[in-house]
Amino acid sequence: MPGKMLFASGVGTERARSAAASRRGVRRRKRETLEEKSTRVNAISARLALTYPDVECPLAHQNTFELLVAVMLSAQCTDAAVNKVTPELFRRYPDAAALSRASTREIEALIRTLGLFRAKAKSLQRCAQQLVDEFEGQVPATMEELTKLAGVGRKTANVILGHAFATPGIAVDTHCKRLSNRLGLTRQQDPTRIERDLNRLLPPEQWTGFSHRLIIHGRRVCHARKPNCGGCALRQWCPSREIAAASSGRRRKRPRRQWASALVRPPS
Give the domain extent around 146.
61-167
Residue 89 sits in the same domain as residue 160: yes
pLDDT in tens, 203-250: 999 999 999 999 999 999 999 999 999 999 999 999 988 655 555 554
Please, which pLDDT band fits residue 131 given cuts at 50, 70 and 90? very high
Q: At what angle do helices 104-111 and 117-135 cross, to 10 degrees?
A: 130
User: Would 68 be classed as within a structural domain?
Assistant: yes
Q: How far apart are CA 180 and CA 140, in angstroms?
A: 29
CA angle 52, 56, 60 (to 5 degrees): 135
Instruction: Report pTM.
Output: 0.77
Which residue type, as a one-letter code, is found at position 165? F
Residue 105 sits in the same domain as residue 173: no
Mean pLDDT in residue range 161-182: 95
pLDDT in tens, 102-128: 999 999 999 999 999 999 999 999 999
Residue at a domain's end among 167, 183, 216: 167
Residue 71 sits in the same domain as residue 136: yes
Q: Which region among 22-36, 144-158, 204-218 has the lowest average model confidence (pLDDT)? A: 22-36
User: Would 235 be classed as within a structural domain?
Assistant: no
Residues whose CB falls within 8 Å of the CB of residue 169, separated by 6 or more in sequence, listed in order: 143, 157, 158, 159, 161, 162, 207, 208, 211
Number of folded domains in the chain? Answer: 2
Active-site residue, 155 included: yes
Please, which pLDDT band fits residue 14 given cuts at 50, 70 and 90? low
User: Would 268 be classed as within a structural domain?
Assistant: no
User: Would 262 be classed as within a structural domain?
Assistant: no
Residue 186 sits in the same domain as residue 153: no
Residue 199 sits in the same domain as residue 105: no
Residue 40 sits in the same domain as residue 117: no
Residue 87 sits in the same domain as residue 162: yes
State the CATH number of the domain containing residue 43.
1.10.1670.10
State the CATH number of the domain containing residue 159.
1.10.340.30
Residue 151 sits in the same domain as residue 90: yes
Q: How many CB atoms lie within 10 A of CB 26?
A: 16
User: Would 143 be classed as within a structural domain?
Assistant: yes
Average pLDDT over all residues of the chain: 85
Q: Is the confidence at residue 28, as pLDDT, over 60? A: no
User: Would 99 be classed as within a structural domain?
Assistant: yes
Please, which pLDDT band fits residue 99 given cuts at 50, 70 and 90? very high
Residue 42 sits in the same domain as residue 118: no
Where do the DSSP E strands lie in 129-236?
A: none
User: Would 159 be classed as within a structural domain?
Assistant: yes
User: Would 80 be classed as within a structural domain?
Assistant: yes
Identified catalytic residue from 173, 177, 190, 226: 173
Residue at a domain's end among 114, 145, 167: 167
What is the length of the chain? 268
Q: How far apart are CA 127 and CA 140, in angstroms?
A: 12
Residue at a domain's end among 167, 194, 211: 167
Identified catalytic residue from 30, 37, 79, 155: 155
